[in-house]
A and B are shown apart, each in its own frame.
Chain A
Amino acid sequence: MSSGVAVDLENITIRFGDFTAVKDANVNINGGDFFSFLGPSGCGKTTILRAVSGFLEPSEGRVLIGGNDMAGIGPNKRPTALIFQNLALFPLMKVWENIAFSMEVAGASAAERRKRADELLDMIALGGQGDKLPSELSGGQKQRVAIARALCANPDVLLLDEPLSALDLKLRQHMRTELREIQQRVGITFIYITHDQGEALTMSDNVAVMKAGVIDQIDTGHNIYDDPATPFVASFVGENNVFRGKVKSVSGNEAVITTNRSGDLLTRITPAQVGKLAVGDDAMMFIRPEALELAPRDADSKTTISANVINEEFEGNSFSVFLEGDGGKQIKMSVPNLGQDRISVRGENLSLRYDASNAVTMPAGELASE
């Protein structure tokens, strides 16, 4: 199996008439990486995938696969294989014919094709199911057949366009693990498109978060969650509480911001924005629900927020407490269930504290819509 080929997007801009679907995207994907494009629907992530697969040419910029410029090279000539959102299995061909279709195109004999299809069927744990029709398989099995069909041509890069979106939750979670395993086994570059942050974070080596045609951040899933570069990333990936305010003082990567409700708060500046915040700027501070806890009496007021409880929900492994935040937004605090009966009473005024290292601040900007 190949060791994985790098994919580079250089200043890619893609326009459809007056509409700019992708704006000046620069992405370097290492060979053998599991790389995800994460963003809400309509953010241009599928358009990028189509530019890599060759179904459309970028209006500006270059797509490089393994260092080779792909301009003018059609989808059939690129070392990529695409898995469609609806899988696009051929319903009238048997499973093994589906898997070996690329070999049929290349003129391989039926015996050769059957042999390779059976090998791939064994790999995806569907040995002996080659003579069925796709319609006789379950959703997860079809999924695996689509992967086998794409892998049959020995592509250098596998492109996946939200292939798990049609599956139910349990199966989707199972397929995440399986996809990651398959990727590590075959060792080729996977480019994965999704709007589901859970999928992106669990499977990927690196994630690009996109908003309205623009890539906001490219980093590991861990860094994207902990150090979001923009308010959009902070609010799109995972749950987050936002506090608006003005910068009161800055020292290195720490800042104090003055919020409307909770006074002056100490916070960390997100790494991508260090040096870009000045005193008096509008800022947004984000604290994750799990980073908030009930404050002891002597807590430092610079890392304490007080708010009235709206209500409380029992989630099984945790309690979610919703409090009044600013601008009509609720503050959510997540408290692990360690056998407490309840955390709060409705209407009660609570003091919450956090570690300054768990609060990230950045210049104010657009949030992800719910």
Chain B
Amino acid sequence: MKKKMIFSDFFKNNGVVMGCLLIGLVSFWLIFLIILPQLSMLDYSFRFNLPPAEVGGPKDVYTLSNYQHLIYGSDTTHQTYNTVDLKVFVRTIIAAMLVTIFNIFLCYPLAYFLGQSKGSGFVRLLVVLLIIPYWINEILRAFALRIIFGDSGLLNEALMFLHLTSEPIDFIRQDIALYAGLGYAYILLMLFPMYNVIESLDRNQIEAARDMGASWMRIHRRIVIPHAKPGIVSGATMVFMLSAGALAAPQILGGPSSLWFTQLVYQWFNDSLNWQQGAAYAIVLLASTIIIVLTVMKIFKVNMGDIGK
């Protein structure tokens, strides 16, 4: 009943022609650009990597061997585990979580400051200054960070000039550059959803709480953070998903011994030309991140609908 109302209202507001066009475009986007490619990846992940001549032949049957390979490192025995790839997988997920948490702590005070200063000229300037670096290509930004974090880079030069260290710190090998790059890559996607919700908070609520004697900690814990929760979760979801799926930053800023799970996927597709195996790895990453996001949303009692606000 309610769904029907939404549809009739949608057509009433936009007109039949415009309504059909909008629905058509969104459907095209969803079906052809998202659902079908993903379905074909899903299909690939359950097939053998066969020479072109045998595709569609009697040997082209569904199999779990690609998934078995990720877990056991072999398609046949279950004696040993694929510790190398599994470690990379776990490390990727945990690091993406840490990057997300780090971004939450970094963005919250900034978003609060921006959101509560009610769009003064200075604040608008700050926002523009935050956006401008993102006009630059992601790969260029990653290389710029690599230069800054390099042995004779700006950061090391500065540290040595200040006599804080006597020899250059290897930020790249210690993965500091990688985490900084990942954190920086998607930080605006955390900042803006937070900023939007905090800006919509009625200032009187903060004053009312203050009038009743609440400390700043309590005001944030009881009033600002609950209000900002949908924005925080929405930002965290995007940062987590994109960090876990990032390729450029790990490729450019990662140390020689540390792989990101997306790099494994990339290797299967590009170096080994085993799309079926790569698809299985990609599907595992996608499914895991979705499950983690849904679990976190459940724990923090946030609905899908809240995120769209």
A82/B218 contact (C-beta < 8 A), A88-B202, A88-B204, A88-B205 known: no
Contact with A along B188-217 (1 / 0, CB 8 A): 000000000000001011011111111100
Task: Tell whether B227 is near chain A: CB-to-CB under 8 Å.
Answer: yes
Contact A76 B213, beta carbon cutoff 8 Å: yes
Contact with B along A97-110 (1 / 0, CB 8 A): 00001101110000
Task: Give chain B residues whose Cβ lies under 8 Å from the Cβ of A53.
Answer: 211
A129 to B222 Cα, complex, angstroms: 21
11 contacts between A and B (CB under 8 A): A81-B211, A82-B207, A88-B202, A88-B205, A88-B208, A90-B205, A90-B209, A92-B226, A102-B212, A102-B213, A105-B209
Task: Tell whether A295 is near chain B: CB-to-CB under 8 Å.
Answer: no
Task: Tell whether B64 is near chain A: CB-to-CB under 8 Å.
Answer: no
Residues of A within 8 A of B (CB): 53, 55, 74-77, 80-82, 84-86, 88, 90-93, 101-102, 104-106, 149, 153
Task: Give chain A residues whose Cβ lies under 8 Å from the Cβ of B286.
Answer: none
Task: Give chain A residues whose Cβ lies under 8 Å from the Cβ of B215.
Answer: 105
Task: Tell whether B30 is near chain A: CB-to-CB under 8 Å.
Answer: no
A86/B222 contact (C-beta < 8 A), A53-B211, A102-B213, A105-B214 known: no
For the complex formed, measure the closest distance between the CB of B148 and the CB atoms of chain A, giving whole angstroms.
42
Contact A86 B204, beta carbon cutoff 8 Å: yes
- Contact for B213 among A86, A91, A105, CB less than 8 A: A105
For the complex formed, measure the closest distance between the CB of B186 and the CB atoms of chain A, giving whole angstroms.
28
Residues of B within 8 A of A (CB): 202, 204-205, 207-215, 218, 222-223, 226-227
Closest to B209 in A: A101
Task: Give chain A residues whose Cβ lies under 8 Å from the Cβ of B223.
Answer: 90
Closest to A101 in B: B212
A106 to B222 Cα, complex, angstroms: 14
Extra contacts besides A82-B211, A104-B218 (19): CB < 8 Å: A75-B210, A75-B211, A76-B214, A81-B212, A84-B208, A85-B204, A88-B204, A88-B207, A88-B208, A90-B223, A92-B227, A93-B222, A101-B214, A102-B212, A104-B222, A105-B214, A105-B218, A106-B213, A149-B212
Task: Give chain B residues whose Cβ lies under 8 Å from the Cβ of A153.
Answer: 212-213
Task: Give chain A residues whose Cβ lies under 8 Å from the Cβ of B218.
Answer: 104-105
Closest to A103 in B: B212
Contact B208 A82, beta carbon cutoff 8 Å: yes
Task: Give chain A residues whose Cβ lies under 8 Å from the Cβ of B209.
Answer: 90, 101, 105
For the complex formed, measure the closest distance between the CB of B171 and the CB atoms of chain A, giving whole angstroms.
42
For the complex formed, measure the closest distance between the CB of B193 and the CB atoms of chain A, giving whole angstroms.
18
For the complex formed, measure the closest distance between the CB of B106 and the CB atoms of chain A, giving whole angstroms.
25
A74 to B210 Cα, complex, angstroms: 9
A77 to B212 Cα, complex, angstroms: 9
Closest to A55 in B: B207
Contact A90 B222, beta carbon cutoff 8 Å: yes
Task: Give chain A residues whose Cβ lies under 8 Å from the Cβ of B226.
Answer: 92
Most chain A Cβ neighbours within 10 Å, of B202, B205, B208: B208
Task: Give chain B residues whose Cβ lies under 8 Å from the Cβ of A77.
Answer: 213
Task: Give chain B residues whose Cβ lies under 8 Å from the Cβ of A102.
Answer: 212-213
